[in-house]
Amino acid sequence: RLMLASSADAVKVAAKTKNDFEVYMLTSVDKQSLVCEDNQIPFIFTIIYDLFPLDIIWYLHNNDDGFIMGRWGVKDESMGLEPFVYEKCLENNKSYTFHIFDTYGDGICCDWGVGTYSMKFDDKTVLNDNFKVD
């Protein structure tokens, strides 16, 4: 689970793993791949599904507006191990929660294909499958 809170010039990220809770403050950058309005920040989620992409569910929501975006895998399992990029301009000064899970319970890597994912918020990596950030 990942919590994001933004302001005009920074984003605070809180990531909870099995036993740890980490908080990061990321500042705004000028370079953007997704052009957003002044009151918005680009959100980019990239995922390479494993060999069983229908098992993977991810979504982004906030408490004000509810569901923002998400996906339940891809229907064609031959599309596993290909990158999919999802982009959206998000309103600034709101908190967002991101969820990703595998319905089968075996994760998206290793024995069933090396799936990976990463999330960028305002062109900074805020989460990836190794829980590493910029």
pLDDT at 132: 46
Q: Which residues of the chain register pLDDT less than 50?
A: 6-11, 13, 21-32, 131-134
Secondary-structure percent of the chain, ordered helix, strand, coil, rounded to 5? 5, 50, 40
pLDDT attached to residue 63: 81
Going 30 to 31 to 33 to 35, the CA torsion angle's sign is positive
Rounded to 5 degrees, φ, ψ at 119 are -130, 130
Helix (H, G, I), strand (E, B) or coil at 93: coil
| pLDDT given at position 77 | 60
The pLDDT value recorded for residue 48 is 85
pLDDT at position 60, please? 93
Rounded CA-CA distance 35/15 in Å is 26
> Rounded distance, CA 100 to CA 56, Å?
7
- Cβ neighbour number for residue 42 with a 10 Å cutoff: 17
What domains appear along the chain, each with residue ranges and CATH number?
A: 2-29+36-128 (2.60.120)
For the full predicted model, state whether its pTM sits above 0.85. no
Model confidence over 59-95: pLDDT tens digits? 999 988 899 999 887 766 666 567 889 999 999 989 9
Give the whole-angstrom CA distance, residue 86 versus residue 98: 13
